[in-house]
Amino acid sequence: MATLLIGSKNYSSWSLRPWLFLRKARFEFQEQIIFFDANGYQGQIAALSPSRHVPLLIDDGVKIWDSIAICEYAAETTGHGLPSDRIARARARSVAAEMHSGFQTLRNQCPMNVRTMNRRVPLTPELQADVERIDQIWSECRRDFGAGGNWLFGDFSIADAMFAFAVPEPETWALLVAGLALHGWLGAAALCVVAAFVGWLGYLSWPVLTTRGRIGRVAAFACALGLAAFQATR
């Protein structure tokens, strides 16, 4: 069985993205976690990964590193995770690559921490521009290619894995407000994205959440879905 070498799923979004994708693409693998604060961390990674970074997928002796390369390999292997339509597939790859190489302000100001609650990040003009670009990408993908399901391209794809943890809590609320303000399919699409994001966070952080935290995640997910259904009828 293949092995996916990753860092902590609480703090390493680049480890978590291929982990999510492989699970959704039904690629069989076992995970091996190397915690960044462990003794000998650098030596452990250097002994396995040619790039000296995680994530790294080892399948039948073949080593694949970098999040997008791992996702592409899994998609080719399983036949899942990329749109069947050529144009949609090209767009999915484009937006996935944009997230992979861009949004530097978002990365710097909003580092990933799945466990955090009620974090407040100043919304600088540069951060606002990144959030608005993500909103544009999501809205256009849903409008042009999302008719077949609830994900950006209908079915789950590499694009969803890349953007799964792109927006921190303050910007999630901003998308929620936008979803409420926009009537029809556009508002419903924004709210569906919020619901999917909250659902993923709840799923990943469930083991370490308190009872109050679990209730809050479930309530937020149900509320977003309900509001999306309501907006779709307006």
Render pLDDT for 118-154 as a digit per residue (tens, 0 to 9). Answer: 667 777 899 889 888 988 998 899 999 999 888 899 9
Q: Which residues touch 186 (CB under 8 Å, ≥6 apart)? A: 139, 143
Structure-token pair, residue 112: 């990933």
As assigned by CATH, the class of the 2-78 domain is alpha beta
What average pLDDT does the chain have?
A: 83
Q: Which two tokens stand for residue 36?
A: 């960044």
| Strand arrangement, sheet containing 29-33 | 29-33, 2-6, 56-59, 62-65
pLDDT in tens, 180-223: 666 677 777 777 777 777 776 676 666 656 687 678 778 878 87
Residues of the chain with CATH 3.40.30.10: 2-78
Give every CB contact of residue 82 below 8 A, 6+ residues apart in sequence: 75, 89, 92, 93, 157, 158
Instruction: Give me the pLDDT at residue 176, please.
Output: 59
Number of helical (H) and strand (E) elements in the chain, helices listed first: 10, 4
pLDDT at 168 over 60: no
User: And the tokens for 90?
Assistant: 């090209």
CA angle centred on 171, ends 92 and 144, rounded to 5°: 30
Cis peptide before 55 (omega within 30 of 0): yes
| CB 203, CB 159: distance < 8 Å | no
pLDDT the model gives residue 207: 62
Q: What pLDDT does 149 receive?
A: 86
The single-letter code of the amino acid at 34 is I
How far apart CA 193 and CA 209 sit, in angstroms, is 22
Beta strands in 82-122 (DSSP E): none
What is the C-alpha separation between 223 and 182, in angstroms, rounded? 17
Element (DSSP H or E) covering residue 82 = none
Q: Report pTM.
A: 0.71
pLDDT of residue 123: 78
pLDDT at 27 over 70: yes
* Confidence label for 116 from pLDDT (cuts 50, 70 and 90): low
- Where residue 127 falls (left for φ over 0; alpha for ψ -120 to 50; beta otherwise) is alpha
- The winner for highest mean pLDDT among 7-11, 149-153, 157-161 is 157-161
Which pLDDT tens digit goes with each residue over 71-92? 999 999 999 999 999 999 999 9
